[in-house]
Amino acid sequence: MPENSPVAFITGGGRRIGAATARLLHAEGMNLVIHYRRSADDAKALQDELQAKRPDSVKLVQGELLAAGALPELAQAALAAFGRIDVLINNASSFYPTAVGEITEQHWEDLLGTNLKVPLFLSQALAPALRAQQGVIINIVDIHSLRPLKAHPVYCAAKAGLHMLTRSLAKELGPEIRVNGVSPGAILWPEADDDGEAQADVLSRTALKREGHPNDIAKTVRFLICDAPYITGQIISVDGGRTLHQ
């Protein structure tokens, strides 16, 4: 393994979009630090899969992102894994409905915390390491950062904040660090969502009339990291044309 291999740190990287992104970046020759919260089995299986292809190329870090003092410790653990960080991918997210009249402060703390607070404070903690590598931050945003989703006002507000944070950090951290976002549309349904009729309705309102794949997000992340040296402060929607429709 080359000692100068670039290192990507992915929060919530053991499953779903995070895992797809990990596989693609690993295939590009990057070493990975994969954070997980509770998905230890998934994260370990992904590590074993990737290290069978390239030994000693994937490290795991576990962490409760909203625990007091957790983020500086997590940033240091990620940096210590390979001694450098070239890419930070803020992928970890909480998502669930919060109907008005039933919203609690815990909902607010969780949804704003995972979707907005964590990306800010991890970016801040790792900014010196990223500057040293002329690095990149990628935030996984959401098309509902600009288009409210019924019954999800707190989540949408959090992602709207992340949308603006992406643009603000690009201005604050340039020229050494590029900061961009990717906004998924209908890529993966929530695991508890088995409402086929509602899913079909959503897909009918996309220009491409079909569901996307986690690799669609992963490939966009790879593009922004590897092939877009003059792009910063941008949020790319990967949504099959969903935002073209009302």
Instruction: Give yes or no for residue 191 having a pLDDT over 70.
Output: no
Which pLDDT tens digit goes with each residue over 36-59?
A: 999 999 999 999 999 999 999 999
192 falls in which pLDDT band (50, 70, 90)? low
Of 102 and 1, the structure prediction assigns the larger pLDDT to 102
> pTM, whole model, 2 decimals?
0.95
Percentage of the chain exceeding pLDDT 70: 96
CATH superfamily to which 7-244 belongs: NAD(P)-binding Rossmann-like Domain (3.40.50.720)
Average pLDDT over residues 77-102: 98
Instruction: Give yes or no for residue 115 having a pLDDT over 90.
Output: yes
Average pLDDT over residues 13-39: 97
Predicted confidence at residue 193, as pLDDT, reads 60
- Give the residue numbers annotated as catalytic, written as ranges: 155
Which pLDDT tens digit goes with each residue over 193-243?
A: 666 787 888 888 888 889 999 999 999 999 999 999 999 999 999 999 988
Q: What are phi and psi of 118, to 5 degrees?
A: -60, -50
Cβ neighbours around 57 below 10 Å, total:
18
Predicted confidence at residue 3, as pLDDT, reads 58
Which pLDDT tens digit goes with each residue over 137-176?
A: 999 999 999 999 999 999 999 999 999 999 999 999 999 9
In whole angstroms, give the CA distance from residue 205 to residue 224: 27
Bridge partner residues of 61 (DSSP): 35
Q: In what order do the strands lie in the sheet with 178-184?
A: 58-62, 31-36, 7-10, 87-90, 136-140, 178-184, 235-238
1 falls in which pLDDT band (50, 70, 90)? very low
